[in-house]
Amino acid sequence: MTDARRLDLALIALHPGLSRRKARDVIEKGQVSVEGAVVTEAGHPVPPRARIEWDPNRKAQPRVRSSLPILYRDDDLVVIEKPAGLLSVPTAPEAQEDTALARVEDFVRHLTPRRPFVGAVHRLDRDTSGALAFALTPQARQALRSLFREHRVDRRYAALVAGEPPGPEGIVDLPIHDVYQGGKRRIAGADQPSRPALTRWRVVERFRGAALLEVTLETGRQHQIRLHLSHIGLPVLGDPVYGQEVRRLPLRLPRQMLHARLLAFVQPLSGRQVRVESPLPVDFARVLAVLRRHATRRPGALA
């Protein structure tokens, strides 16, 4: 694209009254489109005859300058690192909310402005951090959803929990009720409408009154880890729904201490083995450091 020029300069050529700073500002607000696709990068190259439109009345995009760390990307999918506090997808189809999906869509518009596509494959709770995958083509979305539905994805979480694990590892195999009520799920009773749910846990490190677990999902029901661990007396620290107040531990908990640490699967379209690991975020690592500093580690902790 030898004749291409920066979008901010092309916009100024169309609107000579714009300063360089103002041009950059309206672009980053998401008010400028190129060939019908919103572009938020001032340095985006555009060909001489590209259709550029500026709509000053378009609502500025939330956090348009923000970006999410990319853990893996190929032509079919992207895995990002979702921070705690960010929704995975909107709470309703028309909701104007800052979500991981919206941010990935902004990123993809830069890559393929003429054919942008992002499809949700799975979700993380708002206050759970870690690896989150999105499909970049309709075919990939269908194939990846099949992988998750058929439980052919290795999904491992780090969880800081209150309580004393009864052994080095365990399994919680309890169905979860179909009804979502009052912002929470519950374990299903006999003959109640439910879906099977199986969670495996392993002790990584023990403290007095708390533990660091590696949790593996065999199924992926809403709130599964938090509900299952709470049911066996190991609630996730900082969980406002299924947790409990922990007075014995010298902690200030910024959110629920649950982090999606690993995704591993065979890429269904290319056959490539994908293994993505997300490092512990700062808030999680700080709480873990406090536990190590102030609580007594027990002998025989697993590595």
Active site residue 173: no
Whether residue 236 contacts residue 258, with contact meaning beta carbons closer than 8 Å, is answered with yes
* Residue given tokens 């008010």 in the structure block: 31
**Active-site residue, from 76, 106, 125, 239:** 125
For CA atoms 172, 174, 177, 181, give the dihedral sign.
negative
Longest dimension (CA), the chain: 72
The number of angstroms, rounded, from the C-alpha of 51 to the middle of its chain's C-alpha atoms is 34
Question: How many Cβ atoms from other residues are within 10 Å of residue 59's Cβ?
Answer: 10
Phi, psi of 166 (to 5 degrees): -75, -15
Contacts for 129 with CB less than 8 Å, ≥ 6 apart: 81, 82, 83, 84, 258, 259, 260, 278, 281, 284
Residues carrying an active site annotation: 125
